[in-house]
Structure 1
Amino acid sequence: MVRDDRIRTLVDANAADLLGYLSRRVTPREDAADLLGETLLTAWRRRRDLPDEPENARMWLYGVARRVLANHRRGVRRRRALADRLGVEVAGFVATHPDPAEGQEVRDAVAALPEELRELVMLVHWDGFGVGEAADLLELNASTARTRYQRARQLLAEALAPVVS
């Protein structure tokens, strides 16, 4: 219980300074509040490691903040690298796929299907799964999936049939 009181006192005395420390080192600055929260949570979890001497305890708390900030920076770098990789993949996808404006009538017809039919059609035609594989993904009996798929095809054919006047 004494450690709990000491960590509370330490946090009360240093939270504002820690927020300043973090806000000067992170962009956007608004992330500093989240990092402070993470620092305080980490400090609370590790309160058994809290040094007895007040100045050492303060430095320990800043060390926790420094490690939280380092983890944050690594995460930002990983997210940027992932975004770069995805950007290249998206560019390749856009280059090899038709304009989304084409086929809008078909997409509208699929969107109008009941959910249990729509997802099945999308898995088969847009994601390249077989009806059996789609059944597994949707946790359906294979015969149920085949029946639903036939129903979906029938509804799509009716929706996409030219109107005869």
Structure 2
Amino acid sequence: MTSTRSRQLLTAALGECSDDLLRYFLRRLDREDAADALADVMTTAWSRVDALPTAPTEARMWLFGIARNVLLHAQRGSSRRSRLADRLRSTLGQRTASSADHGVEIRDAIDRLDPDLAELVRLVHWDGFSLTDAADLLGIPASTARGRYQRAKETLRDVLAPTPR
């Protein structure tokens, strides 16, 4: 069980070190990521409050050790995202569309639907979900999804129907 004393020591340590920890992250990350990283340090420290050293200098070192681990984790994640984005760009660059505006008329028609209808159509036709699975994702009953899907189909049929000359 976490003692009141440990919580008080952590509160004091964070009060003393939080500005220094934020500067540590700001020198290494962009501003938004630095704030998130500091929040991660605080969350981790509170979850491990019983491991906090009692001496102020050691508590500071402990917090900076957590900060270093948070930073390393953030850098690994950024590196993985960057490599994945490079692979995706490469894969997508190898694919060629038959036409630059292929499907634009359909996308525009879907975009003009009510947002609930449009999302249902996208989930079913673009993302490959069944109507029941799409209903679950949207948090609506399957019967509601079926009714909305029918209404969306009718609207799209009317909008996309060739106009007589």
The TM-score normalised by the length of structure 2 is 0.70
Deviations 1:49-87 (A, max 9, x none): 011222222211111111111111111111111111221
Q: 1:137 to 1:89 in 2, by over 3 A?
A: farther
- In structure 2, what is the Cα distance between the partners aligned to 1:72 and 1:154? 46
Could you tell me which residue of structure 1 aligns to residue 100 of structure 2?
99
Which one has a bigger Cα radius of gyration?
1
Runs of 4+ in 1 over 4 A off after TM superposition: 109-122
What's the offset of the Cα at 1:92?
2.8
Runs of 5+ consecutive residues of structure 1 not aligned to the other structure: none
| Contact 1:23–1:30 (Cα < 8 Å) also in 2 | no
User: What is the percent sequence identity of the aligned residues?
Assistant: 31
Runs of 5+ consecutive residues of structure 2 not aligned to the other structure: 136-141
Match of 2:25 among 10, 22, 25: 22
Aligned-residue Cα RMSD (Å) equals 3.3
Match of 1:36 among 35, 38, 55: 38
Could you tell me which residue of structure 2 aligns to residue 83 of structure 1?
85
1:149-164 alignment, distance < 5 Å? 152=153, 156=157, 159-164=160-165
Q: 1:38 to 1:120 in 2, by over 3 A?
A: closer
- In structure 2, what is the Cα distance between the partners aligned to 1:81 and 1:43? 31
Q: Aligned pair 1:8/2:11, yes or no?
A: yes
| Contact 1:110–1:156 (Cα < 8 Å) also in 2 | no
Could you tell me which residue of structure 2 aligns to residue 53 of structure 1?
55
